[in-house]
Amino acid sequence: MKKVLVFGTFDGVHDGHRNFFSQANEYGDHLIVVVSRDETVESVCGEHPKHDEISRVSDLLIEDDVDDVVMGFLDDKERVLAEHRPDVIVLGFTQASYEDDLKKIMKEHGVDVEIIVAESYLEDEYKPSGFNDQEIYVD
C-alpha cells in the first residue's frame, strides 16, 4: 500500500480542499490527512481557527477521498512523519516552500519520500486567507 500524507488547518472543508485530496489520491492508495493543532494555528497565525481541532477532524472523517485523519503532536513536530512514514507527501500550492525542509526531515528519519506540490484550484477563491504560506504545520 502506497501511503500519501497531506497537512493543513482545514478550517471549514471546501471544494478547494476536496480538489487537493483528489489530487493527492492520484499518488497512492491510502490518504492520511494531518490536521494542525489549535495551539499551533494560534501561535503561527496569531488567531484561533474558526473551528476547533476536534470539529476539523470530524469534518474530514466524512470526506470520500480521505482514508485517515490524525492530529499532529505538540511535543514533537516531526513525530507524525516518523510514525506514518509516508511514501508521498503532497503539499498544497501555497506550501511549496516547505519541500526542501521536508525532504531533509524525512531523510533524517530514514524515509525516502516523494514530495509533490498540488496544482492550484480556483486560486483566488480558495487560497488560505490569513495563513499565507503557513498552512503547513507538521504538528
DSSP 137: -
Over the stretch 42-80, which tens digit does the pLDDT of each residue have? 887 888 899 999 999 999 999 999 999 999 888 887 888
Indicate whether 133 belongs to any domain: no
Structural contact between residues 80 and 139, judged by C-beta atoms closer than 8 angstroms: yes
pTM of the model: 0.85
Q: What is the CATH number for 92?
A: 3.40.50.620
Residue 26 to residue 3: CA distance in whole angstroms: 11
Beta-strand runs (E) in 36-100: 68-71, 88-91
Q: Which residue would you say has higher pLDDT here, 102 or 3? A: 3
Confidence of residue 38 (pLDDT cuts 50, 70, 90): very high
Q: What is the pLDDT of residue 128?
A: 54
Indicate whether 71 belongs to any domain: yes
Over the stretch 78-135, which tens digit does the pLDDT of each residue have? 888 888 989 999 999 888 888 888 888 888 878 788 999 998 876 555 555 444 434 4
Q: Which residues contact 46 (CB under 8 A, 6 or more apart)?
A: none
**Which residues constitute the domain of residue 79?**
3-126
